Amino acid sequence: MKNLKLKSARAALDLSQEELAQKCGVSRQTISAIEKGDYNPTINLCIAICRILGKTLDELFWEDQ
């Protein structure tokens, strides 16, 4: 399932996938795969992304039923 919440939050801060990846210590491809729903990140990576984007885990990674 695509993570449009992550993509939207990243875009709202005018961050590219590359910039977010650098801040998280991962590759741009990893961020792209998370946004596409092709990769489930570790909880530590989820927390890092949330801190950088100023969001909670629920806001970015909770799947609505």
3 contacts 37 by C-beta, under 8 angstroms: yes
Report the distance separating Cα 17 and Cα 43, nearest Å.
19
Q: Is 61 helix (H, G, I), strand (E, B) or coil?
A: helix
Give the tens place of pLDDT for each residue, 12-26. Answer: 999 999 999 999 999
Residue type, position 53, single letter: L
Topology, domain 4-59: 434 Repressor (Amino-terminal Domain) (1.10.260)
Residue 65 has pLDDT above 80, yes or no: no
Please indicate, yes or no, whether the overall pTM of this predicted structure exceeds 0.75: yes
Total residues found in the chain within this entry: 65
